[in-house]
C-alpha cells in the first residue's frame, strides 16, 4: 500500500498502515476506508495527518484516559450490583412473608392474591437480573477494549517517539534480560552500537526536521536487518544500539556490515524541495558478553569499539577482536 501510494516507508507510515491491516483501530480503518471509497489517493501529507490524529498521542494522557474510563466502568458495575442486591433482599423478604402466610389456612381468594404477588415480585427480580446481565456483558466488552488501549499505551511507553524503536528504558530492561539469559544458558550475546557520522553537521546544514527523517530512516534500516529475538533501540541522540542474543562476534559483525552498507546505499532526498542531500554513513562498535559483564561494562566496551571506528575514519565496523588484533600488532 505504501509503494502503490508512493508514500516513503518511514516507521510512522509503516505503523499507520500496519495498524490498518491488523484492524485493531476501527476508527482509523473507517477513516481510511472512507478515503479509498472517495477515490482519494493517499499522500505523505495525508498519512502524516492520519498518524497525528490516530496514533501519535501522549502516553500519560492515554493512561489517564484509560484509568478514568476503567473507574467509570467499575462504578457502573458496582451500582448495578447494588441495585440487584437491593432487589434480591426485597425478594427474599417477600418469600419469607409468603412462607409465613402459607403456614396458615388461606382462602382461595387469599391464595390467588399471594400467588399474584409472588409472580410480580419474581418478574421484577427477573428484570433486575437481566439488567445486571446486560450491564456485566457491556462491562466485559468495555474492559476488553480498555485492556487493548492499555496494552497499546504500555507498548508506546517503551518506544522512542521519534524513531519508533525501543527507547532507553526499554533498552535497559532488555539488557538486563539478555545478560541474565546468557548467564543462565551460556549462549553468546553481542551488543552493537552505531553512530551516524557527522550528524551534527547534517542537522546544522539541512535543519532538524530533515535530521529527524534521517534518524527514522537509520532506525528503520537497523530494525529491518535484525531478527526476531534482537532488540533495536535509540540509546541517545544519533546513537542507536542493538542487543543480539544467540549471536557471536563474527555473526554480529556480519549484521553490522549489512546495516552499514544499507545505510550507505540510501541517497537522501529532501521531500519539500526534491533537493538531493547526498548519502549518509554510520560507524559501528561490536562487543561480546563475558561472564563477568554487567550492562554497564558491556556498553562501555561496545562504545570503545565505536570510538575506534570513528577514530579510524568512520563508515566502518570495529569489534573487540579488531581492537585486540590492533593491540597485538602494536605490541609486535
At 308, list the grid cell.
Answer: 575506534
Per-residue model confidence as pLDDT tens digits over 139-163: 777 777 777 776 776 777 788 888 8
| Candidate ranges 3-17, 78-92, 115-129, 238-252; pick with highest mean pLDDT | 238-252
Is the pLDDT at 63 greater than 70, yes or no? no
Which whole-number Å values give the CA distances from 244 to 41, 174, 258, 319, in the listed order?
40, 10, 14, 14
- Select which of 121, 156, 238, 320 is catalytic: 238
Which whole-number Å values give the CA distances from 182 to 243, 288, 296, in the listed order?
12, 11, 16
Please state the pTM of the whole predicted model: 0.60
User: What share of the chain in percent tops pLDDT 70?
Assistant: 91
What distance in Å separates the CA atoms of residue 196 and residue 199, rounded to the nearest whole number? 6
Place of cell 473507574: 71
| Candidate ranges 4-13, 28-37, 104-113; pick with highest mean pLDDT | 28-37
Per-residue model confidence as pLDDT tens digits over 269-317: 776 677 778 889 999 999 999 999 999 999 999 999 999 999 999 999 9
Q: What pLDDT is attached to residue 86?
A: 80
Instruction: Please name the residue ranges forming H helices in the chain.
Output: 11-22, 26-37, 44-54, 59-102, 108-157, 168-185, 199-206, 208-224, 249-265, 295-311, 320-331
pLDDT band of 247, cuts 50, 70, 90: very high
What is the CATH T-level fold of the domain 168-331, as seen in this structure? Alpha-Beta Plaits (3.30.70)
pLDDT band of 56, cuts 50, 70, 90: low
Angle, in degrees to the nearest 10, between helices 11-22 and 26-37: 100
Q: What pLDDT is attached to residue 31?
A: 86
Is 238 annotated in the active site? yes
pLDDT band of 59, cuts 50, 70, 90: low
Q: What pLDDT is attached to residue 248?
A: 96
What distance in Å separates the CA atoms of residue 246 and residue 252, rounded to the nearest whole number? 10
Using DSSP, state whether 98 is helix, strand or coil: helix
- pLDDT top residue among 332 and 69: 69
Per-residue model confidence as pLDDT tens digits over 198-217: 998 888 888 888 888 889 99
Q: What pLDDT is attached to residue 271?
A: 66
Amino acid at each position: 500500500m505504501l509503494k502503490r501510494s508512493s508514500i516513503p516507508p518511514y516507521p510512522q507510515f509503516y505503523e499507520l498502515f500496519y495498524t490498518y491491516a491488523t484492524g485493531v483501530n476501527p476508527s482509523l480503518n473507517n477513516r481510511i476506508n472512507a478515503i479509498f471509497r472517495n477515490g482519494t489517493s493517499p499522500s505523505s501529507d495525508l498519512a502524516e495527518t492520519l498518524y497525528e490524529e490516530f496514533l501519535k498521542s501522549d502516553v500519560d494522557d492515554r493512561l489517564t484516559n484509560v484509568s478514568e474510563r476503567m473507574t467509570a466502568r467499575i462504578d457502573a458495575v458496582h451500582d448495578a450490583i447494588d441495585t440487584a442486591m437491593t432487589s434480591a433482599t426485597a425478594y427474599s423478604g417477600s418469600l419469607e412473608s409468603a412462607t409465613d402466610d402459607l403456614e396458615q389456612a388461606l382462602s382461595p381468594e387469599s391464595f390467588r392474591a399471594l400467588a399474584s404477588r409472588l409472580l410480580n415480585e419474581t418478574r421484577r427480580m427477573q428484570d433486575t437480573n437481566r439488567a445486571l446481565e446486560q450491564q456485566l456483558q457491556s462491562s466485559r466488552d468495555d474492559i476488553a477494549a480498555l485492556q487493548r488501549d492499555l496494552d497499546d499505551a504500555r507498548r508506546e511507553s517503551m518506544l522512542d517517539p521519534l524513531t519508533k524503536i525501543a527507547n532507553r528504558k526499554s533498552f535497559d530492561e532488555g539488557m538486563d534480560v539478555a545478560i541474565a539469559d546468557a548467564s543462565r544458558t551460556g549462549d553468546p550475546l553481542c551488543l552493537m552500537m552505531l553512530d551516524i557520522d557527522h550528524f551534527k553537521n547534517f542537522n546544522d546544514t539541512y535543519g532538524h526536521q530533515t535530521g529527524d527523517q534521517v534518524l527514522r530512516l537509520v532506525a528503520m534500516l537497523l530494525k529491518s536487518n535484525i531478527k526476531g529475538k534482537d532488540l533495536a533501540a535509540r540509546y541517545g541522540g544519533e546513537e542507536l544500539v542493538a542487543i543480539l542474543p544467540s549471536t557471536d562476534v563474527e555473526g554480529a559483525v556480519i549484521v553490522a556490515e549489512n546495516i552499514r552498507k544499507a545505510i550507505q546505499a540510501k541517497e537522501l532526498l529532501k521531500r519539500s524541495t526534491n533537493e538531493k542531500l547526498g548519502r549518509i554513513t554510520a560507524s559501528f562498535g561490536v562487543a561480546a558478553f563475558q561472564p563477568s559483564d554487567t550492562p554497564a561494562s558491556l556498553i562501555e566496551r561496545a562504545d570503545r569499539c565505536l570510538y575506534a571506528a570513528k577514530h579510524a575514519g568512520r563508515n566502518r565496523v570495529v569489534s573487540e577482536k579488531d581492537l585486540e588484533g590492533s593491540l597485538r600488532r602494536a605490541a609486535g
